Amino acid sequence: MVTSRWTADPTRTASPRRRGVVLERAILNAALEQLGSVGWKGLTMEGVAAGAQTGKAAVYRRWPSKEDLVADALVAGLPQVETVPDLGSVREDLLILCRRVRGIMYSLPGVALRAVIHECDDAQAERFQNVIVGGVIEPTVTLLRDVITRGIERGEVRPDAANGYVFDAIPAMMMYRSKVCASEWSDQDLEEMIDQLMLPLLRPHSV
């Protein structure tokens, strides 16, 4: 039998040494939690390391700056909306889409992303432009295009409504209110946006 020269504290359970993707995931999650609690300006690499229960050197080996770390954390953490069910009504399809986008915005990574948007200066915000566009705006526009195309096929939506201005309307409104107004999106807010903005944009012209 091998006897250790170190005496273990029976009240503590040693945590296994984490490596590779397990450690990286812990660091990325800690970065998101830090953003949600202390914001972009309050986030430090030391704080992330402490949250991930690892050394600061382990963080810096993988990410030389907090901009690099936060960008990777957001890309890895943002939920994806891959499809919107066809409920037979463009209004109901839009509601489902908007609720799912709202879910992304108020998830832990979404809250972290909003902290970045709110607190970064222009130079820093440019670093995250691809994250915002690729992680939120482009997927939303793609699904919105699918919903509108189905509406056109059903005769609910006029064909010329399938254009970039209409596709940009929902993500632009949701991002604007989140960034500039710092307000939440209730179900009533979403319904009013669809009824008062989107449906008038989409309806066939009166004969």
Give me the DSSP letters along the chain. ----SSPP-TT--PPPPP-HHHHHHHHHHHHHHHHHHHHHHH--HHHHHHHTTS-HHHHHHH-SSHHHHHHHHHHHHS---------S-HHHHHHHHHHHHHHHHTSHHHHHHHHHHHH--HHHHHHTHHHHIIIIIHHHHHHHHHHHHHHHHHTSS-GGG-SHHHHHHHHHHHHHIIIII-----HHHHHHHIIIIIHHHHSPPP-
Q: In CATH terms, are 20-77 and 90-202 the same topology?
A: no
pLDDT at 206 over 80: no
In this predicted structure, what is the pLDDT of residue 145?
A: 94
Return the percentage of the chain with pLDDT > 90, whole number.
Answer: 49
Tens of pLDDT along 165-177? 999 998 888 877 7
In this predicted structure, what is the pLDDT of residue 201?
A: 93
In this predicted structure, what is the pLDDT of residue 181?
A: 61
Tens of pLDDT along 134-165? 888 888 899 999 999 999 999 999 999 999 99
pLDDT at 13 over 50: no
Q: Where are the domains of the chain?
A: 20-77, 90-202
In this predicted structure, what is the pLDDT of residue 33?
A: 93
pLDDT at 7 over 60: no
CATH of 20-77, one of 3.40.30.10, 1.10.10.60, 3.40.50.620, 3.30.930.10: 1.10.10.60
In this predicted structure, what is the pLDDT of residue 11?
A: 41
CATH of 90-202, one of 3.40.50, 1.10.357, 1.10.287, 1.20.950: 1.10.357
pTM of the model: 0.76
In this predicted structure, what is the pLDDT of residue 8?
A: 35
Return the percentage of the chain with pLDDT > 70, whole number.
Answer: 87
Q: How confident is the model at residue 54 (pLDDT cuts 50, 70, 90)?
A: very high
Of 6-20, 92-106, 121-135, which one has max mean pLDDT?
92-106
In this predicted structure, what is the pLDDT of residue 91?
A: 96
More confident residue, 193 or 135: 193
Q: Which of these ranges, 30-44, 94-108, 174-188, has the smallest mean pLDDT? A: 174-188
Q: How confident is the model at residue 4 (pLDDT cuts 50, 70, 90)?
A: very low
